[in-house]
Amino acid sequence: MDGARHPHRQPKRQLDSTILHFVSTDCFYASVFENETPALRSLPLAVQQKQIVVTCNYEARRRGLHKLQLIKDAKKTCPDVVIVLGEDLTRFRNASKELFNLLRSFSWNSRCERLGFDEVFMDVSDIVEHNLGLLNAHDLANSYFCLSKNDPTVGFTFDASELAGHTYPQPPNKELDASQDSLSLRLRLASHLARYLREQLESEKGYTCAVGISTNKLLAKLVGNLHKPNDQTTLLPPYSSEEDLDNVTSFMDGHEVGKIPGIGFKIANKLRAHVLQRPAEFDTALVYGGTKEDLLVADARRHPGMGPDMLEQLLSGPGTPHGIGPKIWGLLNGCDDAEVGQAREVPKQISIEDSYLRLDTLGEVIRELRMLAKSLLARLHTDLLDNDEETPAPDDVVPGPTTVPRRWLAYPKTIRLSTRPRPPDGSRNRSFARISRSAPMPNFVFSLKENKDTVSERLVTETLVPLFHKLHPEKSGWNLSLMNVAATNMADAASEKGGVGRDIGKMFKRQDDVLKQWRVEDTDVMEVEEKMEEVKAVLPAIPNGDKGGSEDLPTLSQEAKHSVNDQWESEDEDMADGDLFCCDQCGASMPSFAMVAHSRWHAQS
């Protein structure tokens, strides 16, 4: 049975709302190094995190290297490979922001959303719609693409009789692209905008990327993969058809289910087990997410009885969101109603963490907290301070660039410390449960007069160590596999009444008034202060020095050691103040004090 021939089973595709681009930077981390040191471009270059090549440039790929390979294998395959360390993420984060900001500056509706470091979705419906109105159907070859709502002279000339870049499917000849229906024209306009934006990214910032053009995030992301690197692909209409397989269905059909964004590892395995009629026995044998058994979307879609109801039955259970069946059915059919998120000026929260093989003495904890506090403070300065000297606040008098005052764009109201204790029985079982405590972010953190080291030291002694004692009142007996320090509960300074945040001078005059209203009640303040004394007594005995903690086995996250989590677009709300936690192993939520017993239970069962 073919779903395409049974339109009642095919979810309705929204075609008129949005045109989206998905931009994925080529060999992102490697290009950041290449941009810093252009001589690297012609050499095989690999970026190392832990013992793994997280990415490599195309010269290295030509010589047989690939992403997520062990360093020692890479050296064997290509002995003259140049290896650079990519554990400090600062340069990548900064590059990512620059790329994002450039793209965002072209957006009219601010629907511009980062995914990870090197991917950006843009909803350009409004720009495209506007330009559709400007087209002269009798002279498409000499068209003008207007880039500014307010200034019709800002834009570029282009040939609207042709689509820019590649298409899916690849037409046998050019005539096939010449359709004049609204969807075809919109996608064609979007393809020219995409080409223009790619040229901008390359000429202004030195980065190349692959772009996908379609009507929703899912399709745009997937179709952009077809022509990499440094190219673009548009998913051509028809997007629906009563008789034949439409292009969306045939495009989706060729994908392995696990490759569909939104279908995670567990769901893909359940689908494979169900359709292939084999137990999902391979999940323990997986290496870095590679699968042994492939299930094409076409086979899943056509499987007898398959549809939203069957998927709901198959996939629903504890921890899965309501309506999982229709959602996954939609994805298999190329439907995705997720909107492109509105660009945020500041992240929702910033957190820094590190993992350890063994962390079980207060001395080591304090040393680690120092490192985390330093990194956190550096992140707050980079992400939340407006340092842009070219765009001073309107009230400021600017005799020279050095006198432009810096201002906070947002203030995190809360600081949170989380730890992940190992099961107390000393077993090697890994516990994923985190416990946390929060406190108001102290005002001195926002001072720009004090030296950063002094501020971070105060943060450790006056806030973090007392929080640590609240989490682990016992002097010893604990052993942590992770610590995370987060600045959360972000208050936007610009929206603060009276615009105080726009002027750092005024802010400090009114600092107490302003920050008072953000105070988060913490009933244990007394306890925190008592503990401070204890900490101060311990501190002088702890030498400054290299990191004492060791690390867990390599993880393949985008964030390396001292990983920073900038929540720019995540839906996760702060888990701060109620201190209610969700166990990552079974999904149960409970108050923090119950977590240790709960992880012990997991360790034993």
Question: Would you tell me which residues interact with ligand TTP (CB under 6 A)?
Answer: 24-29, 49, 54-55, 67-68, 117-118, 228-229, 556, 558
Give least dist CB 203 to Mg ion, A: 19
**Smallest Cα–Cα separation from 332: which of 419, 227, 421, 260?**
260
User: In the bound complex, which residue of the shown chain has the CB atom lying closest to ligand TTP?
Assistant: 55
Number of residues that bind Mg ion (CB under 5 A): 4
Amino acid letter, 366: I
> Nearer Cβ to Mg ion, position 99 or 404?
99
The pair of structure tokens assigned to 436 is 């946390």
Asked if 24 is part of the footprint of Mg ion (rule: CB under 5 A), the reply reads: yes
CA distance 188 to 183: 8
> Nearer Cβ to ligand TTP, position 355 or 436?
355
The pair of structure tokens assigned to 516 is 């008072």
Give least dist CB 467 to Mg ion, A: 37
3-state secondary structure 460-518: HHHHHHHHHHHHCCCCCCCCEEEEEEEEEEEEECCCCHHHHHHCHHHHHHCHHHHHHCC
Cross-strand bridge partners of residue 214: 20
Q: CB under 5 A: which stretch of 19-27, 332-340, 437-445, 472-480 binds Mg ion? A: 19-27
> Nearer Cβ to ligand TTP, position 24 or 567?
24
Q: CB under 5 A: which stretch of 23-31, 165-173, 336-344, 584-592 binds Mg ion? A: 23-31
Give least dist CB 561 to ligand TTP, A: 11
CA distance 165 to 225: 13
Residue 254 CA neighbour count, 13 Å, CB half: 12
> Nearer Cβ to ligand TTP, position 50 or 506?
50
Residue 558 binding result from Mg ion, ligand TTP, none, given CB thresholds of 5 to 8 Å by partner type: ligand TTP
Give least dist CB 233 to ligand TTP, A: 14
**Smallest Cα–Cα separation from 504: which of 492, 517, 489, 493?**
493
Residue 166: left if φ>0, alpha if ψ -120 to 50, beta else—which one?
beta
> Nearer Cβ to Mg ion, position 28 or 239?
28
Residues written for the chain: 605
Residue 408 binding result from Mg ion, ligand TTP, none, given CB thresholds of 5 to 8 Å by partner type: none
> Nearer Cβ to ligand TTP, position 49 or 232?
49
Amino acid letter, 294: D
Residue 82 binding result from Mg ion, ligand TTP, none, given CB thresholds of 5 to 8 Å by partner type: none
Residues 6+ apart with CB under 8 A from 538: 362, 363, 366
Residue 484 binding result from ligand TTP, Mg ion, none, given CB thresholds of 5 to 8 Å by partner type: none
237-266 residues in contact with Mg ion (CB under 5 A) are none
Give least dist CB 223 to ligand TTP, A: 15
- The site for Mg ion (CB under 5 A) is made up of 24-25, 28, 118
